[in-house]
Amino acid sequence: MRKHIVRKSLGLVVLYAVIIVGIFVIQFRSDSIIRKTIRSMRVTLVEAESTDGSAALKNQFQIAYNGIQFTGDDSNSVEYAVGDSTRKAVLKTYEETENSLSLIFDDDITITFSLSEVAANSPLIITADFPAKISYVSLITKPLTGYSFTDQKAKQAIVEGKNSSYSLLAPMLQDSRLLLLQNSKFASYRSYVKQAEFSIDAVANLAGASKAEWQNSLNTLSATIISEFMRLSQSDVSFAASLSEQTVIAYAAAMSNAGRYNEAINTVPASFTKGTKRTYQSAPFFGTLAKVAPSLEMQMENYKSMVSHALQSSSCDVFTTGNIADYFVINENDPEVTRVLAMPASLTNNNFTVAQAAGILHVYSVLKTAESANAEKLIPVLEPCIKKITDSCKLDNNKIRLAENDTNLSVIAAVNAGDAFIEYGTIEGMENVEKCGYLIVNSYLSDLAGLDLRTMCEIYPIAVHDNPYYPHFAKIRDLDGTTIWAWTIARDIKITQDENRTLFVDIDFPLGLTHYVMVVGINPFRRIQIYNMDFRTDPQFEIYNSSGYVYRSSMRGLLLKSRHKSQHEIIKLYYREVAAQ
């Protein structure tokens, strides 16, 4: 009985062995491995014999190169998305050249791996071609044995081995997959050299980290804006129609600072000066004060709404708003302004964006310069803001480049961050921070050939602070519980009051030039004198060849045309019946 059981068991073992061997024999007879080497790229494909004896490519591949591999099979296939559904792509065929391999899948999907150079460490370029209905294509991406992914982010991963490192850049990296998107069908894999951690102190002695070179960059920016504006105005018939107010203001300010004020006013196309694009921003150059004054009122209301929203949402985006620092200075006693300035320090994570960090540093610098007590409220977050900007910096060939979340910052955003360093470093006496700011700005403005006129004009007010001809807010003084301020291009405006409560408005502007100014916070007065002569309000005052005014009670605004017969034009506002001198 026992012998029968043993004999039966041995028979089953032999039977199973025959079956297993048969399967292997059939498998190896029906599948053939295709191995190719394209320079240093190793390609493995599998070809299967069909029932009719012909060969067909299986849905299976592996591409290995310098520590990384891209794979696909029936279990982990290439995937693609159409609408809300994800589908599996099936490999149909391939094409090769001396430096590339293209995998062709169903649904018109092609993924190409190509080496751009002959060298062993040539960059590997991965591109895709697929129909518009497909939003993305993804494939399994893994390190080879002996390598590992380090510092993996949304769009970049470092592949490190014992003796070499590589950088994988892609539109998206997610769950061991590389995604090629409809609007970004390109990825690259190349040698990576680790850089030392960026240090503010380490860049302070580089050639570009100097105030002299920074000033040269700003001078070049101003000169380029002027020359490019004139060139386009003479050669481009559509130039006038496409002008933005920002472009005109920067041009006029740069020209004025070069001693060409009247020429600037006269060379701006009439279609702009008389058109509908203008707001309060360009009023100091071109007038029409009564018409554009409501836009100034509206802007101040917008600032107020932004502050309220920031408090409700605990958002620091308000600090990125242009001229918001001046609003804080003008309204420093407003409880909501006080609260919003204290808000960043109340946040527990200090997780600012680069733009927010730069905005906070800028606001602090403006408040500190204005000797506002509110500046102290931002002190707790100044170091985190400096760190945020520093962490975004990378030194490349003695130039600084800024990136956030694997995305390079625009030149405007980068210059804004560099300028925040310059302002803060200067005010606080932190020389290395100041020099780092110079290097950032110089890195982005060293070659203006790649910037269009509009971009340069948007950079101008960020980087240039010593040009009084650029329209700006100016807090003049507090009087009887009211803050008096102006929107102006004057060098300086002072207001004094005598024992009869008469106000003397002293406007400093070059002799013989005419400009327009809106002084806000002026209470209604009995009488006004300009050039020691009584003036009456006149809606047509701007067309006369003299100074003049209108008063707008809704904003308590004195809207002045100031034609300087002397450098200091004095306007007297009488509030009592006193003898005019």
Amino acid at 166: Y
575 phi and psi angles, rounded to 5 deg: -115, -5
CA distance 445 to 225: 13
Q: Which residues neighbour 396 within 8 Å (Cβ) at sequence distance 6 or greater? A: none
Region of 266 on the Ramachandran plot (φ > 0 left; ψ -120 to 50 alpha; else beta)? alpha
The pLDDT score that the predictor gives to residue 126 is: 96
The three-state (H, E, C) secondary structure of 320-375, written as one string:
HCCCHHHHHHHCCCCHHHHHHHHHHHHCCCCCCCHHHHHHHHHHHHHHHHCCCHHH
CA distance 488 to 518: 7
pLDDT digits (tens, 9 = 90+) for 265-285: 999 999 999 888 899 999 999
CA distance 184 to 407: 13
Please give the mean pLDDT across all residues of the chain.
Answer: 90
CA distance 484 to 351: 36
Strand order in the sheet with 492-497: 492-497, 503-508, 568-574, 527-530, 533-535
Mean pLDDT of the region 117-138:
91
pLDDT digits (tens, 9 = 90+) for 521-576: 999 999 999 888 888 887 787 888 788 899 999 999 999 999 998 899 999 999 98
CA distance 377 to 39: 61
Instruction: Determine contact, residues 48/31, Cβ cutoff 8 Å.
Output: yes
Is residue 299 over pLDDT 90?
yes
3-class state of residue 130 by DSSP: coil
Is residue 120 over pLDDT 80?
no
* CA 567 to chain CA centroid, nearest Å: 40
CA distance 284 to 278: 11
pLDDT digits (tens, 9 = 90+) for 507-528: 999 999 999 999 999 999 999 9
Is residue 140 over pLDDT 80?
yes
The pLDDT score that the predictor gives to residue 282 is: 96
The pLDDT score that the predictor gives to residue 195 is: 62
| Range with the largest mean pLDDT of 30-39, 105-114, 167-176, 398-407 | 105-114
Amino acid at 526: R
Rg (CA), the chain: 35
Q: Which residues pair with 86 in a beta bridge?
A: 81
Q: What is the pTM of this model?
A: 0.72
- Residue 472 structure tokens: 């700006």
Which residue would you say has higher pLDDT here, 192 or 497? 497
Is residue 25 over pLDDT 50?
no
The pLDDT score that the predictor gives to residue 432 is: 95
- Residue 176 structure tokens: 């061991």
Mean pLDDT of the region 223-234:
94
* Packed helices 411-428 and 354-369: angle between N→C axes, nearest 10 degrees: 40
Sign of the four-CA dihedral 445, 447, 450, 456: positive
What DSSP state is assigned to residue 565?
A: S
CA distance 226 to 27: 76
Residue recorded with tokens 């009869």: 500
The pLDDT score that the predictor gives to residue 28 is: 47
